[in-house]
Structure formats: C-alpha cells, structure tokens
Amino acid sequence: MFTLTPLELEALRLSLRVGLWSVVVSLPLGILAAWLLARSRFPGKTLFNTLIHLPLVLPPVVVGYVLLVLFGKSGPIGTWLYDSFGVTVAFTWRGAAIASGVIAFPLMVRAIRLSLESVDRKLEAAARTLGARPWDVFATVTLPLILPGIITGVILSFIRGIGEFGATITFVSSIPGETRTLPLAIYNLLQTPGGEAGAIRLAVIAVVLAMAALIASELIARHVNRLNGHA
C-alpha cells in the first residue's frame, strides 16, 4: 500500500525542497518583522502588522494571483529579476517556495513575536550595563531565550508551506517535477481514474510528516527551555 511510484516520490521530494527553501529565505525576514512588532514604535505599525498577517485571512488563490501579477514575466519584480539575473520565478519551484513562504510567514512571525514579548527585558539591560553591545546582547541573551519560539515558528511555517495548495497552483500551476508538490499531486490523483490509492498514500505521508514535525517542535522547544533554565 505504501510503495510510492516515481511520480509520488518526486512530489514528496519537491515538497520537502520547497518547504525547506521557503523557511530558509523567510526566517531572517521573520525575525526582523517580529522584532519590529515586539520592540519598536513607528508610524504605520498597525498597518505593517495588518499586512504581515493578511495572508492568514485572504483566500490563498488571491495571494497566488497577487504573486503572479508581481513576479510574472510581465510583472514589475518578475521583469526586473529576469532582466537583471535571468531568473524566472513564476511556474517554477522557486515560485512554489515563495508562495509557501508568503502563506506561512504570519505563523512564523507570530511565534517569534510572542517569544520576544515574553523575554525579561531586565536581563538585556543587565548585559548592556556590563558593556555588551546591542548585537552581543541579542546574540548572547535574547536569541537563546527566544530560540523555542524560533523553532516553533520555523516548524509551523515548514508544515504550512508543504501543505499549501491554492496560492501554489495559482502562481506556479501544477507541473510534474517542477511545481507539483504533495497537495497538488493529491489533487491531480483524485482527478485521475484509479488514482485514489495514490492519493491515500500521499495523504497518509502528509499527515505523518505534519505529526512528526509538531512532535519534534515540542521536544526541541522543551529541551531548549531546560537548557535555558540551567544556564
């Protein structure tokens, strides 16, 4: 029952690749956005917060269409990328990673922001009084304390990314070997006569991946919290 065909294995590998790259690219931006929301005051902060979390409430198809308008060959960003670097994003795995990253970005930012807001600011102030520079304070005090939140945000973002369907199929279509991730492969199998068995296999794999990632997130976060407690 769980013997995967080459096309199913290809969809699984592509999903993992897309999920990994979506997290790698969005993590620095997620930490920055969370820091701005948790620690900064600036005009338009409410609007910035709204834009960050907008993908959570918008239909994924709308997000995919906006990405297509921006990153398509005739779009402003897509044209610049192609003219400057010869890079095409729409209808490629890179576009699938961008779509997954955008949809999952609010989850990452929220997890990191909650961790930042729970940090005891007195610890950071004490480090500064001892002569530590702002970057040193962040690296040696703040970062270890918010690491559980970062891990949680990364894993939630990864899980949400590999499960993305609407934005992905709108932005990059469903191209075998290029953009057909697990959800798209499951949908394609359900539209194919006799494809139900393959769809069930991939659905089970998706559930197992999600459960394993959530359990790993919990265990890692607990371990880091214990280490911080002994520090």
Using 50, 70 and 90 to split pLDDT, how confident is the model at 133? confident
Decide if 213 contacts 159 (C-beta within 8 A).
yes
> CATH fold of 6-230, please?
MetI-like fold (1.10.3720)
Average pLDDT, rounded, for the chain = 90
Who has greater pLDDT, 50 or 214? 50
Q: What is the pLDDT of residues 180-203, one digit of tens each?
A: 999 999 999 999 898 898 899 999
pLDDT at 2: 60
Map out the domains of the chain as residue ranges.
Answer: 6-230
**The two structure tokens encoding residue 76:** 């402003």
The amino acid at 158: F
Rounded CA-CA distance 153/227 in Å is 19
Does residue 4 surpass a pLDDT of 80? Answer: no
Does residue 228 surpass a pLDDT of 70? Answer: no
pLDDT at 75: 92
Q: What is the pLDDT of residues 84-109, one digit of tens each?
A: 999 999 999 999 999 999 999 999 99
Residue 6: φ, ψ to 5°: -55, -40
Q: Estimate the crossing angle of helix 93-118 against helix 143-162, to 10 degrees.
A: 150
